[in-house]
Structures are given as C-alpha cells and as structure tokens.
Structure 1
Amino acid sequence: MKIERIELLHLRMPLLHPFVTSIGSLMEKDFLIIKMFSGGHVGYGESVAMPNPGYSEETTGTSVHIIEEFLIPLLFNSTINHPDDVSNIFAPIRRNNMAKAALEGAVWDLYSKKNGVSLAHALGGTRKSIDVGVSIGIEKSLDELLLKIERYLADGYKKIKVKIKPGYDLEPLAKIREKFGFGIPLMADANSAYSLQDLTHLKKLDAFKLMMIEQPLAFDDMIDHAVLQKELSTPICLDESIHSAEDARKAIELGSCRIINLKIGRVGGLTEAKKIHDLCDNYNVPVWCGGMLEAGVGRAHNIAITSLANFTIAGDTSASDRYWKEDIIQPEVIMSAPGKIAVPTKPGIGYELNEQVIEKYLLGKKTFTNN
C-alpha cells in the first residue's frame, strides 16, 4: 500500500460544558485530524494530545512537530503491507505515542476501506454494539453532579465515572450512593491526585463499593499501586501508567491493578491496543476504552476497538452530543439503544467527515506529498 498524500488539519472546537479534573479545566479541544490518501481511498486519524502537557508529556504542538519531521517521512519511505507494520516503522522514534496513533489510525482506516471491511472487522471485533458509560468532571456543586447523573442514568448509560481529588471524594461519592443506592455502576477517577501517604483515607473508598478507582497514584507508578491494591478491596484500574503491552504485563504480574483502561492514543495506536487487549484476556484482566474528549474520528476508532471480546466494561465513548454542539463527522455518533452504540459495518470507520464543520473550526492545514 503506497501512501500518496497526507493532509494534517489543526482544529479547535468548544466543548458544550467545561470539563474539570484534578489536572485542570478544559473549555475547548485543540486537536489534529489526519487525512491519508491512497488509490482513490481516504483514511482518517485523530490525535488526542491536549494543548498542555498535563495528562501526558505530549501536546498538540509536539505532535505536529513529530508527525511532520519524523513520522511522515518514515511512512513515505516504507512499504506497508498491513497496518501492523506501522509499529515497526515507527519503532526508531521513542514514545510520542499520540502522534504515532494519529497516523497509524489513518493507515488502519485506509487499509479497511481498501479491503471493503469495517475497521471493527479488520481488528477482529465481534460485537454488533458496544456498551457505553459517561465520564463526569468535577462539578461546581454536588446538586449539579447529582442532576447530571440522574439525567445520564435516564439515558441508559451503563457506567458512571466521576472525577475525584483530595477534598472532593468522600462527600460526592456518599451523596451519589445516598441518592441512587448501590445498584448503579459507579467508579472514581483520580488522575494521579493521591500518594501512599493518603492510604488511610483511600481505604475509606471501599465503603462505596465502586467498580474501580482509576489511577489513584502517580502517573508513572506501578510499585506503589501494588502496595495500595493489597490494602483495598476496590479494584485499581491503571490508565496513565500503561503505555505498552509490556507495561500491562508488568503491572498485572506486580499486582498493581485488576483492570486496565485502554486508550488508543496513550499506547501508540490500534496495533498495540490489540496486543494489550489480548494479553489482558490471557490474564483474565478486563479492559475498557477510556476517553480523551475525542471528536468524531477518534470516537469512531474507539467504537471499533471496543468491539473486541475482552472489552467487558462499558467505556467512555458516549454520543457526540455529550460533548459537542456539532461533531466533525456525519452521521454523528448516537446511541442505538439506551446505553449502547451500534458498531458501524460500512468499510473503514463507517463515518464521513463533515467538511462544513471542519472548515468552521479549522486553524490550519498542511499537505505532504509522497513523490
């Protein structure tokens, strides 16, 4: 498969509502879209890097640099027989996983379209629909938090994830359990806001019978998480600590977690995500697909990977209108039934770009030709 041309689009879209975590607050999403051309087909990818290096060391700006100066030249100078080849092509470049995943995702979409199959099918997915949950940021008031949860439960979402941090944890969780009981699937995401010095406090979370607590300790830690997991009955889920299948293996064997959040961008693409999925399946460790406030292209890739068998926990891939007034794809992602999204069966990601919306939020575009 020869890649003839690549277009790199830089967009900025306002979120419907501010999204607040222990890391900070987002009012808009600054992101990249990849268009990859070959033999009359176009593949789409999306970079999930943020404008600031809060979640990871990558930013939108560093992704542009790595994509332009290193990754595109490597792709243009290589033979691609299958999307799995891209991991090896990019191997000389360390980390920069979100930049790699944006291009690799476009290769996967292009490959699927050339072969007339859906991206989910190309990845080995088996589901016709996926269960979806919702991620709720730190709200201005507990009343607002409870109202949002009530609305999302009415919409049928299969999992409620709430952000927590020191000073905003026991009270909101207690209020949620008091109002909705222990029957709703509830988890807490700490985004690395705690340390082992908070062990006594964190043990109090067991009382809320959460599905999991996500990444309570340092973003690059596995050792302290293993210590904490031994003290908690609540499963720990690792997110920021896992960048590869090797990371996942070490975390599982150390006892650092019982669940893994799989984000395509964080691990460098769909090929590595599949490897982590398969490894976790062998260890009987469930996985679920986390969200990075993706626009429609990234959302479509999340739907495809979640169709694999070991994604047994509802992910964060909610409908487009959960975050956006208008999305960059058509049709937009909608729930096919309460708490479910249908897995597209059309070739590739199953969605087309909405060029009018893209033009509205476009900051810049660069074109690269493989001569």
Structure 2
Amino acid sequence: MPRVRELEVFRVVLPYGRRPESLMVRLTDYGGMTGWGEVVDPDAKTWAAMEEGLSRALIGVDWEHPDELGVVPGGSASDMACWDLWARMRGVPLAHALGGNRTYLTATVRIAAERDLDSLVARVNRHVCAGYTHVTLDVHPGWDIEPLRAVRQAYPALGIGVDAHGAYTDVGALEALDGYTLSAIERPFTGPAGFADHADLQERVAAPVLLEVPSVAGLCEAIAAGAGRALLLRPAAMGSLREVRQAHDHAVAAGWEISCAGGQGGGLARAATVAAASLPGCGLPCDVAEPPRSAQIVTPPVGASGGVVAVPLTQPGLGHNVDESRVRRLAKESYAA
C-alpha cells in the first residue's frame, strides 16, 4: 500500500524555445521509492493550490490505487506522480497499468507553414528520409490546397493529416481538402463554432474530423452531436489518467479513432502520453516529436526514432530515469513537505 513520506515540487524553466515552464512533482514513500509527475505551462493558480493542499492530500495517507485519491491539488502532475509511484512499487510499466497493449507507436511530425512550396517539400523530405511515414501539415485560409497538393504529388503514399488550429469558419473551404486522402482534419473550428459546424463538416468529408475535447463530458456531447470521428487526446490537459482512460473508452465505444499528443515539458509529460497512446484504441499516429532530446530531464529521452516511438516496457512506472540534479539546477523555485 503506497504511503507518501515526503514530496517536493519544482518550478522548472526549460532550456529551449521560449523557455517554457513546468511544474514537476516528486513523491517519496516510506520505502524510498519515488514517483514523478509534470504539468506543462501550468495555470497561475496551480502552484498556490499545491502549496496549500498537496501535502494534506497525500502525506501519510493510505491508498491502494491512484483512482482512490480523486482530484488532487496539482492536477495531472500530482496524479501522474501517484501513478508512477504506484506502478514502480508493483514493478509494472505505466503503459500496462493503464491497460495498454502496444509495444511501439507510429509518430507524426508537425510541419508549420513555410515561406514557399519548395521549402515545405524539402522539409517534408527530411522527415521522410528520417523514417517518418506520417506528417501533419499546419493549414489556414490561403495556405491549404496548394501545399497539400505539392506534398501529395511528391509523396503519393505518405500519411498526411492537417491541423487547422481553429482557423476556419467556412465548412466548404475545408471540404475541398478531402480529395487528398487525409488521415484526419484536426481542430477545424474554434471560437463561436459549435459542434453543429463540426458535424456538418464530418458529413461532407471522408477523413475523420479530429477534435480536441479536454473533458469526458465534452467528449460525450461531441459524440452525441456526431461532431467528428476522432479524438485528439492530451493526457496533460485532463485532470487524471483515470479520465484519460474514460475518454479512451467512450471514444472506442462510439467507433472513434484516437490520436495522443503531449505537452512539451521536460519529458515526463511526454512519457505519460506514450503510455496512454499504448491503449488499444489509439490507432492514429501520435505526436511526441518535442521537446528536443537535449532539453529533456529523463533518460532515455522520449521521442521518435525512424518515425517510431518505443513504449518502454522493461522498466516500471514511466519507464525513464529522472536527472534529479538537472531538475534542481533548472528550478527557479521549489518547496518540500
């Protein structure tokens, strides 16, 4: 039975890009076993909530399974640390603890809009040569049909999805993309657009409309509305891995496909994404291409090799070792209880 003896929380500034922040949680039980969790770009209130209530919720509390703890201050980071600790104590990989059965995942790589078509095709070529069999192209009005046509003509057998980042208001403009054998049309509408627009688009196109829905209740509404046929599942955006499994089960029961994606962070959140993506319904290519390997605080780093992501099954828990000394060097703030 897990019983947390002490905990530490670190506010870490990561050394890449715009220097994103992560909150990392380290739990230690009475036997010296540790579990880690991470939330990327946390809400401003998360740190205060953890300082105020995390030790009261976890230290000295007996529990048999992470699901028993309910909502824990710190959300997905605290929940992830509990799952990591629980799985390590039992000597099982997190992927198996969640019910996953995959040993490897097909990865996609996201391709941002380029300055011209030649640059776009050259960039896609680099990833194809590196072993990727699927790419996700960013599109927006004015940059959609021509780049998609150029990539499809250059690589007739390549798996291609498009991510609209909510840039469209016209269903017809997106319908025109469907002739290029897409694996998914991701996040077509945001703002005032509701599930009715998504349902209208899904009726018109053969490709599954891929929705990012950050709650189980929202997913159930989307399914009832016929708003798509695929779920973009971000474990870090949900409060717990229990909710991740529930969302997976609802999507599978509705016949929806699933693609898993994770926050950038230092590698811990990505490791949880890989574990979730090993669930049987997660058949669409997953997105774990970032962060840079050199910026991660876990070994081995989380990422794709030859377009494939190995699910770590030889070590318990998240399946990666944490460089604690690096976490402490990168932390701009921390507290212990």
Q: Same fold (TM over 0.5)?
A: yes
Q: Which residue of 2 aligns with 1:347?
A: 316
One-letter amino acid matched to 1:365: S
Q: Secondary structure at the match of 1:233?
A: coil
Contact 2:259 2:282 in 1 (8 A): yes
Can you list the C-alpha shifts for 1:279-308, whole angstroms capped at 9, x where unaligned? 222222111211322421111111111111
CA contact (8 A) 1:32 1:60 kept: no
Partner Cα distance (1:343, 1:144) in 2: 35
1:229-248 matches, within 5 Å, as 229-239=202-212, 242-248=213-219
1:194 to 135, 144, 168: 168
Q: Does 1:212 align with 2:155?
A: no
Residue 166 of structure 1 corresponds to 141
User: Could you tell me which residue of structure 2 aligns to residue 222 of structure 1?
Assistant: 195
Structure 1 226/66 Cα, relative in aligned 2: closer, same or farther at 3 Å?
farther
Q: Output the TM-score relative to the length of structure 1.
A: 0.82
In structure 2, what residue type is equivalent to 1:260? L
**Gapped runs of 5+ residues in structure 1?**
19-26, 51-58, 94-98
1:128 alignment partner in structure 2: 103
- Structure 2 partner of 1:157: 132
- Counterparts of 2:75 and 2:210 in 1: how far apart (Å)? 24
Deviates more, 1:105-114 or 1:172-181: 172-181
Q: Cα offset for 1:141?
A: 4.4
Q: 1:35 aligns with which of 15, 26, 35?
A: 26
CA contact (8 A) 1:71 1:100 kept: no
Q: 2:326 aligns with which of 336, 339, 357?
A: 357
Q: For residue 112 of structure 1, report the CA deviation from its aligned partner.
A: 0.5
Q: Distance in 1 between matches of 2:207 and 2:148?
A: 14
| Among candidates 231, 241, 254, match of residue 283 of structure 1 | 254
Shift of 1:210: 1.2
> Secondary structure of the residue that 1:250 maps to in structure 2?
helix
Report the 3-state secondary structure (helix = DSSP H, G, I; strand = E; otherwise coil) of the residue aligned with 1:217.
Answer: coil
Contact 2:209 2:230 in 1 (8 A): yes
| Aligned amino acid, residue 62 of structure 1 | K
Shift of 1:218: 1.3
Identity of aligned residues (%): 28
1:6 and 1:147 map into 2 onto residues whose CA distance is 48
Give me the whole-angstrom Cα distance separating, in 2, the residues matched to 1:288 and 1:135: 13
| 8 Å CA contact 1:327, 1:357 repeated in 2 | no
- Deviation sequence 1:17-57 (CA, Å, 0-9, x none): x6xxxxxxxx3322121111112111111102x3xxxxxxx
* 1:226 Cα offset (Å): 1.6
Whichever residue aligns with residue 176 of structure 2, its letter is K
Q: Which moved more, 1:297-306 or 1:331-340?
A: 331-340
Assess, with a 3 A threshold, how the Cα gap between structure 1 residues 345 and 337 changes in structure 2: closer, same or farther: farther
Q: Is 2:95–2:311's contact at 8 Å kept on the other side of the alignment?
A: no
Amino acid paired to 1:218:
T
Structure 1 residues 227 and 65: alpha-carbon distance in aligned structure 2, compared to 1, 3 A threshold:
farther
Q: Quote the Cα distance in structure 2 between the aligned partners of 1:193 and 1:77.
A: 49
What residue ranges of structure 2 are gaps of 5+ in the alignment?
Answer: none
Mark the CA change 1:139 to 1:293 in structure 2 (over 3 Å): closer, same or farther: farther
Q: 1:14, 1:28 within 8 Å by CA — same for their partners in 2?
A: yes
For the 8 Å contact 1:131–1:341, the answer to whether it is kept is: no
How far apart are 1:148 and its partner, in Å? Answer: 2.4
| CA contact 2:21–2:265 (8 Å) conserved in 1 | no
C-alpha distance in 1, partners of 2:19/2:140?
22
SS of the residue 1:238 aligns to: strand
Aligned match for 1:309, one of 280, 283, 287:
280
> Partners in 2 of 1:153 and 1:282 — Cα distance?
34
CA 1:336–1:138 in 2, change beyond 3 Å: closer, same or farther? closer
Q: Indicate yes or no: 2:271 matched with 1:300.
A: yes
**What amino acid maps onto 1:232 in structure 2?**
V
Partner of 1:4: 5
Q: How does 1:56-205 map to 2 (within 5 A)?
A: 59-76=42-59, 79-86=62-69, 88-90=70-72, 99-181=74-156, 183-195=157-169, 198-205=170-177
Is 2:218 the partner of 1:259?
Answer: no
Amino acid across the alignment from 2:38: E
Whole-Å Cα distance in 1 between the matches of residues 313 and 137 of structure 2? Answer: 28
Seen in structure 2, the aligned counterparts of structure 1 residues 233 and 12 have a Cα distance that, compared at 3 Å, is same
Contact 2:38–2:269, Cα closer than 8 Å, also in 1: yes
1: CA distance between counterparts of 2:150 and 2:254?
A: 35
Answer yes or no: is the 8 Å Cα contact 1:5–1:37 preserved in 2: yes
CA contact (8 A) 1:67 1:100 kept: no
